[in-house]
Amino acid sequence: MITGGSILVLDVETAGLRDDFVFETAMRLLPLSWQTGILRKRARCDQNKALCNRLLQIYGCLLYSNCSSYDALQFGRGPWGKPFLINELVDKKLAFSMTNGDKYVAMYVACCPKNIGNFEVGIDIASPADLKTPNEVELYRDIFTEEEYGYVASPLGNIHEKFAFYWSLKECYTKYIGNGLNSDLKQIDFGIVDMHLKTFRKCINPDRPVIYHTIWIDHRREVISVCCDDVDLQLCLETPRLVTVSFDEVLKVLGLNAYA
């Protein structure tokens, strides 16, 4: 049986990265190529998110792969940039996906038996605050089918929350297939999905049924959607465990206390 895996969530705002010493010390845990990518971002808040994203990626893979140290982890990238773990694990396959939100960075990591063929996962986090006013939903009409747009733009229910819910579903699917920003979101047709539905099965591609889970966090400040291959065709796939991870905990597991 496939484990539902875990959703690891790290609060960037409480990481202490406004302190240059903490930021620079944590940066030294990363390969130079990763450091360069982070520093290319102009805004410090975006650099902080990128740093937390990379550190959480290492942290999650280290915990679930049983590798002895983070130096032993090897990462690659798919054709459109999706990261994956190169390391060959003895008894399982490990799949993960990363996302940055308004306040948090998050990681979905799940494992399955090695005899399972294709197994991919995706995650996205979105905030109702991304939509400034209800009327602004018109600007995003091109990413929805007519049916989806009619539901999201309807005054029945919270338009901001419906927009964030659908955005996170579509984006987590693009992370799952590995296309990211190269996908046409309108072609990812969910139809009408009850926003209160926490788990459901959907076939965007008829040949690959997918299980979706959605979780609202921080008093509905952000919504996290994850998806993975429904390889055993069971809707009762275990719900992912939501784990809040502190920046201190990440640094300790990686063998560093930036506040020492």
Residue whose tokens read 């959480």: 56
163-192 confidence digits (pLDDT tens)? 999 999 999 999 999 987 778 999 999 999
State mean pLDDT over 186-205: 91
CATH topology of domain 6-253: Ribosomal Protein L22; Chain A (3.90.470)
258 pLDDT higher than 90? no
Q: pLDDT digit string (tens) for 49-99?
A: 999 999 999 999 998 887 878 888 999 888 888 889 988 887 788 999 999
Mean pLDDT across the chain: 90
The string of pLDDT tens digits covering residues 91-136 is: 788 999 999 999 999 999 998 888 877 889 999 999 999 999 999 9
**Residues of the chain above pLDDT 90, percent:** 68
Q: What does the pLDDT average to over 146-151?
A: 98
pLDDT tens-digit series, residues 203-242:
888 888 899 999 999 999 999 999 998 876 554 467 899 9
pLDDT digits 0-9 by tens, 15-44: 999 999 999 999 999 999 999 999 999 999
User: 260 falls in which pLDDT band (50, 70, 90)?
Assistant: very low
Chain-centroid distance of CA 246 in Å reads 17
* Residue boundaries of the structural domains of the chain: 6-253
Rounded to 5°, the CA angle 221-226-232 comes to: 150
Asked if the model's pLDDT at residue 257 lies above 80, the reply is no
Q: Which of 168, 179, 134, 174 is nearest to 154 (CA)?
A: 134
| pLDDT attached to residue 235 | 43
